[in-house]
Structure 1
Amino acid sequence: MKKRDVYGYLIGIAAAELVGLLARLFSGADDAFYSALRQPPLAPPGWVFPVAWALLYAMMGAASYGIWSSAGEGRRCALLLYAVQLAVNFSWTIVFFRFQLVGPAAAVLALLCVLVALTMLCFWRLRRSAGLLMLPYLLWSLFALYLNAGVWLLNP
């Protein structure tokens, strides 16, 4: 791998991680709020979330650089879709934690799942490895939607 590619992957990963960090900072993530909510079955302990998201953001960042450095037709559209889903991802944290709007946050997550699936398909067409790197993110987003909807139903 060329040195330029190593830097590119690191920049892609750092950019995605920064989005996650900023979302957490701007959300005013309230652990007391989340801890007080009744959780659906299969809800993991709180420490799992930052670990999972750090890994997922790293994989998203690597996938995005894989597309950035590809020459395929549709690259620009795929990267635009990636940016849009990243913005929706960012907004979910704020809707759920800062505004504590659990129902609307579930709607944001449903939209995110659709956008991640579309992004993954676009990435797959351009570079299969990039599409595969997005698969855990899609699965985790679907799981997050289940958890969010469960919290909404269990905490009227």
Structure 2
Amino acid sequence: MTGEPASPGRRMHSEPSAQTPGTIQSIILLFGFLAFVFTFAGLGGYVTTANIESWYATLQKPSLTPENWVFPVVWNFLYFLMGLSGWLVWRTAGGFAAGGAPLAIYGAQVMLNFSWSVVFFGLHSPGGALIEIFVLLAAIAANIMAFWRVNRLAALLLLPYLAWSLFATYLTAMVWLLNK
């Protein structure tokens, strides 16, 4: 390390050598991360909405099941946090190549999140969705741990998502038990 302080545009020798993305690129990628997660939110919502008034309405549900309007409100907030979280890791790492494994885990858990909607609502399979959500929970936990090593705020932003997914696990398990 040199004895002089780092200027805003220069990194200290002890920091990673990845270059910080420029402002315009960073803003574009923030919207890219948000578009990524909200695309899968929209696809999952499409599968879900098509079954709310028909199949889902006929199921017995546990007493802690929120009103239907609560789900899109909570999920939109969580998807926003997920998009912001992924962007923070991309930005901190200095790009996709440098973000490697943590961003790959992130992408996988977003796909698993979408898959739950397909299995539960699209295939009408609460039992299959219960198995799938356990895999999703493991992916979310792995995502948090991987992000923690890169950007702690990014990891912390995923904690509400993990908490809601644990609640969703309870709901899924109870729907399966009450309707088998």
TM-score, structure 2 normalization:
0.80
Give the total of aligned pairs.
156
Give me the whole-angstrom Cα distance separating, in 1, the residues matched to 2:49 and 2:65: 22
Aligned to 1:10: 31
Give me the whole-angstrom Cα distance separating, in 2, the residues matched to 1:3 and 1:111: 36
- Structure 2: unaligned runs, 5 residues or longer: 1-21
Q: Give me the identity figure in percent.
A: 38
Choose the corresponding residue for 1:118, options 125, 142, 151: 142
- Choose 46-55 or 25-34, whichever is displaced more: 25-34
Choose the corresponding residue for 1:54, options 56, 73, 76: 76
Pick the structure with greater CA Rg.
2
Matches within 5 A, 1:1-156: 2-26=23-47, 29-31=50-52, 32-71=54-93, 75-156=99-180
Query: Displacement, 1:41?
Result: 2.6
Which residue identity lines up with residue 8 of structure 1 in the other structure? Answer: L
* Counterpart secondary structure, 1:41: coil
Give me the whole-angstrom Cα distance separating, in 2, the residues matched to 1:74 and 1:138: 25
Give me the whole-angstrom Cα distance separating, in 1, the residues matched to 2:117 and 2:171: 14
CA contact under 8 A between 1:10 and 1:62: conserved in structure 2?
A: no
Which residue identity lines up with residue 179 of structure 2 in the other structure? Answer: N
Q: Which has more helix, going by share of residues?
A: 1
User: Which whole-Å deviations, capped at 9, do the CAs of 1:99-141 have from their partners, x for residues lacking one?
Assistant: 1011010110111011001101111111011001100010111
- Structure 1: unaligned runs, 5 residues or longer: none
* Counterpart secondary structure, 2:55: helix
Give me the whole-angstrom Cα distance separating, in 2, the residues matched to 1:38 and 1:12: 36
Query: Displacement, 1:74?
Result: 7.0
> Residues 146 and 120 (structure 1 numbering): CA distance in 2 closer, same or farther, change over 3 Å?
same
CA contact under 8 A between 2:47 and 2:121: conserved in structure 1?
A: no
> Residues 83 and 36 (structure 1 numbering): CA distance in 2 closer, same or farther, change over 3 Å?
same
Query: Displacement, 1:6?
Result: 3.2
Of structures 1 and 2, the one with the larger relative CO (CA 8 A, separation 6+) is: 1
Give me the whole-angstrom Cα distance separating, in 2, the residues matched to 1:22 and 1:12: 16
CA contact under 8 A between 1:14 and 1:58: conserved in structure 2?
A: no
> Residues 45 and 27 (structure 1 numbering): CA distance in 2 closer, same or farther, change over 3 Å?
closer
TM-score, structure 1 normalization:
0.92
